[in-house]
Amino acid sequence: MTRHELLPTAAFFAWTLGALLPVPAAGQPPGEAQVITGVERLTWTQQAFDDEELRRHAYVLYVDGAPVLLPAASCGAIPVDGQAASCESPLPELAPGFHDLELAARLASEGTVLESPRSAPLRVFVDRALPYLPSAEEEPEYQRPARRPAPAGAAVAGSRRPAAATAELVVSGLDDPAALALLPDGRLLIAERRGWLRLAAGGRLAEAPAAVLADADPAGRDSWSLALAPDAARTREVFLSYAARDASGARAGRVIRFREAGGTLGEAAVVHDDLPADPAAPLAKFGPDGALYVATSALDPRDAGDLGSYAGKLLRFNPDGTAAEGNPIRHSPVLSSGYRARPDFDWNPADGLLWSVEPDPGGALARRVEALGGPAAGSLADAPGRPDRGALVRLDGLLPGSAAFATAAGPASWRGSLFLAAPDHGCLVRVSGLGQSPPAPAAVERLFCGLFGRITAVLAADDGLYFAAVGGGRDEAGRPTGAVYRVRGR
């Protein structure tokens, strides 16, 4: 294996979308790890047809196989069309110790995010004892290293206005948390991507998992969602959607209902099976009308518009999995179609309207959900959270993950705000102004960028906003560094 050099002024990779070309580093024998401090900058050359195409590229660094977007990456001008530009980026947060780094490019095209092959891996050893580290005043917020979980209850200020929001640790020691649900008695249910469901109470994580799904596919993102039944206080029912792998290795979307008792999730019943799960697993939530809504992605864009396919749709079911009454097409669960990337969605408590948020070329697209046939389709026109027509807001530069509107009981300054997890940016994002007519984001505010690692899930609750974060690697005691935080605002 040839070596790459990782120095503040040295070339790191030279590559195109079609192939990655390693740049040998003189004097570095194969197989040796370079000792770095973590404050170095990556530099590489990127080939593109012209400057306009170059600006559409995003760059992702795989750290031990886990993708981390490089939001601060920048490239100079292309000297001559078709040649390469010089690019650079600060390193993401790297825990002390050995890591394998691989570089790739992403390009959004017709609603699909394309990714180049990865470079040959570069082996590094991070030694934080060696260097000088820039102070918070010297370094932009998005470039600051992620912090390890603070003691439970300790507050961390968000954005550049410390009084705007604070985040306090709820529970730590999680392995790649991917979805959250707050049980009626205040316990927190957490889905880990490996297939474990964990319960936490009083800042402590239950040692034994509440359930383990051996068929869960941990690969990729958007692998989990959790939803409580509308009458969960009585029935204790929890719905889980995820991507499963069968014995042949085929991937399928699945929605399962559990009943929680004594810290265990039992009485598993499959509500829906064989839902589209490529490229993203289905996502399930209960609406204010008591129906179970399920969003899917479409691997083939033609399926998104095919009403006979469940791919690329927002589906509306009864809790038992049958098609809900009042859908635009009788006996069909299809509520809305045309989604190429799987959206997340939620209802704005300020007006009861349903919004979806999905990846879009160059960012995200937030829109009020339009039912087939328009807002007056059947009895759906009178249902709570009635879909409406025509409203959309583009959120440039954001690759969204989980989405949740602040609850009506939240801080007054949050009312009508949509919160997004932006995993690749390491930020929690607040979008306000969607209740305006016509809707337009009055503000897009990025909170806690770079402080907690990848933020993977958000959950709105009356006592604040919860989010899950993946710090990367393990701490000195060997524990995973995933954690859940609660945000409080004014």
Residue 51 belongs to a domain with what CATH number? 2.60.40
Asked if residue 221 belongs to a domain, the reply is: yes
Q: Domain check: are 147 and 171 in the same one?
A: yes
Q: Domain check: are 282 and 408 in the same one?
A: yes
Q: Domain check: are 351 and 470 in the same one?
A: yes
Asked if residue 42 belongs to a domain, the reply is: yes
Asked if residue 136 belongs to a domain, the reply is: no
Buried/exposed code over 186-214 (b: 16+ C-beta within 10 A; e: otherwise): ebbbbbbbebbbbbbeeeebeeebbbebe
Q: Domain check: are 396 and 286 in the same one?
A: yes
Q: Residues 190, 192, 198, 203: is their CA dihedral positive or negative?
A: negative
Q: Domain check: are 164 and 246 in the same one?
A: yes
- Given its phi and psi angles, is residue 351 left (phi above 0), alpha (psi -120 to 50 degrees) or beta? alpha
For tokens 């390193």, what's the residue? 91
pLDDT in tens, the chain (490 residues): 233 333 332 333 333 323 332 332 333 333 467 777 776 778 888 887 888 888 888 888 888 888 888 877 888 888 776 678 888 888 887 777 788 898 888 887 666 778 888 888 888 877 644 333 333 333 333 333 334 444 444 444 444 333 457 888 999 999 889 999 999 999 999 999 889 999 999 989 998 999 999 888 877 555 689 999 999 999 999 999 999 987 777 889 999 999 999 999 999 999 999 899 888 899 999 999 999 999 998 988 889 888 889 999 999 999 999 999 989 888 999 999 888 888 999 999 988 889 998 887 777 878 888 776 333 233 333 333 333 444 677 777 777 788 999 998 877 888 889 999 988 778 889 988 887 766 666 678 888 887 888 899 999 998 889 999 887 666 566 677 789 999 987 6
Residue 260 belongs to a domain with what CATH number? 2.120.10.30
Domains contained in the chain, number: 2
Report how far residue 183's alpha carbon sits from residue 193's, in angstroms, rounded to the nearest whole number.
20
For tokens 């948020």, what's the residue? 357
| Token pair of 415 as six digits | 């009312």
Asked if residue 46 belongs to a domain, the reply is: yes
Buried/exposed code over 94-129 (b: 16+ C-beta within 10 A; e: otherwise): bbeeebebbbbbbbbeebbeeebebbebbbbebeee
End-to-end, the C-alpha distance of the chain in Å comes to: 54
Q: Domain check: are 150 and 285 in the same one?
A: yes
Q: Which domain holds residue 341?
A: 141-489
Asked if residue 135 belongs to a domain, the reply is: no
- Given its phi and psi angles, is residue 160 left (phi above 0), alpha (psi -120 to 50 degrees) or beta? alpha
Q: Domain check: are 368 and 430 in the same one?
A: yes
Report pTM.
Answer: 0.67
Asked if residue 8 belongs to a domain, the reply is: no
